[in-house]
Amino acid sequence: MIASVGFAASQDADLRNEPFVELCFPVQGNYLPADHGYALFAACVHLNPEIRQQETLSILTIPGYPDKQGKILLTEQSCLRIRTPISLIPLVYKFAGKSICLGIHEIRIGIPEIFTLKPVDKLKSRIVVIKGHQQPESFVIAAQRQLNDLGISAQISIPKDRKGEYCRKTIKVKSYTVVGFSAEVSGLSDEDSLKLQRWGIGGKRHLGCGYFLPCKRGRNV
């Protein structure tokens, strides 16, 4: 048993030293629940149960146009993004051509494009969740600590919405609600930018949390 645990730890360390890529799968469908992170992860696990064990793999929720009634309308730009070490590509590439259901909504997954990660000096995440830190001040301190633990020298902040309030976000996980915040990290070196894109911060990264993308200038997260 000890030997198997040691092998798993060694295998995880090997994955962490690999280059990462992002697979971008086009999706076809009409609507999805706006909050579909857990349903999407469950559907991915149904297609390949090995996904559940891969801590180095991150899944981003599918973007769309909000209808303000709890759903999003899928567009030509809607896609499923999965960020992974190169050696795990076969685990997720098999999603191509499959259909999945998120609640009552069915989507079909297309053939992905594969991109290497590119460094930028400012990154954003729609939602970051850190257990025990549901207030803005506490969250920023905890998030900054996690950046420091990764050896990232940059500043994290919570953007504000049009009302001047901090962008507070929630996701549903089964029967309970998880609270987090949007986050922006600025002043990143190339090395730190790639590091943050690979590892993210906070929890629930299989559910779309802590997944950092280039920050569009002049827009809130």
Instruction: Note whether 15 and 71 are same-domain residues.
Output: yes
Among candidate residues 47, 81, 116, the one where a domain is terminated: 116
Among candidate residues 97, 116, 135, the one where a domain is terminated: 116
**Residue pair 158/167 in contact by the 8 Å Cβ criterion:** yes
Residue 159 carries which side chain, given as an amino acid letter?
P
Instruction: Note whether 28 and 88 are same-domain residues.
Output: yes
- For the domain that residue 139 is a member of, what is the CATH number? 3.30.70
Among candidate residues 116, 142, 159, the one where a domain is terminated: 116
- CA–chain centroid gap for 122, Å, is 16
- What is the end-to-end Cα distance of the chain in Å, rounded? 45
Beta strands of 14-128 (E only): which ranges? Answer: 20-28, 31-33, 58-60, 65-66, 71-73, 79-85, 99-102, 105-109, 113-116, 122-128
Segments forming the whole domain that contains residue 195: 122-214
Q: What is the DSSP pairing of strand 31-33 with strand 122-128?
A: unpaired
Instruction: Note whether 6 and 100 are same-domain residues.
Output: yes
Q: What is the pLDDT of residue 5?
A: 36
Residue 144 vs residues 58, 62, 135, 154, 196: alpha-carbon distances, Å: 21, 27, 14, 8, 12
Give the C-alpha separation, 140 to 142, whole Å: 5
- For the domain that residue 84 is a member of, what is the CATH number? 3.30.70.1890
Instruction: Note whether 94 and 132 are same-domain residues.
Output: no
Instruction: Note whether 36 and 76 are same-domain residues.
Output: yes
The first and second tokens of residue 165, run together, are 């309030």
Q: What is the pLDDT of residue 190?
A: 97
**pTM of this structure:** 0.88
Among 107, 37, 106, 31, CA closest to 73 = 31
In a domain, 182, yes or no: yes
User: For the chain, what is the domain count?
Assistant: 2
Give the C-alpha separation, 52 to 182, whole Å: 25
Among 153, 172, 187, CA closest to 102 = 172
In a domain, 158, yes or no: yes
Instruction: Note whether 20 and 45 are same-domain residues.
Output: yes
Ramachandran angles phi, psi of 197, nearest 5°: -65, -35
Instruction: Note whether 23 and 109 are same-domain residues.
Output: yes
Instruction: Note whether 87 and 130 are same-domain residues.
Output: no
In a domain, 221, yes or no: no
Residue 197 vs residues 76, 105, 168: alpha-carbon distances, Å: 25, 30, 21
Instruction: Note whether 10 and 97 are same-domain residues.
Output: yes
Ramachandran angles phi, psi of 132, nearest 5°: 85, 5
Averaged in consecutive runs of 10 residues, what is the pLDDT profile of the chain (221 residues)?
38 70 97 96 96 94 92 95 96 96 95 96 97 96 96 95 93 93 97 96 96 72 38
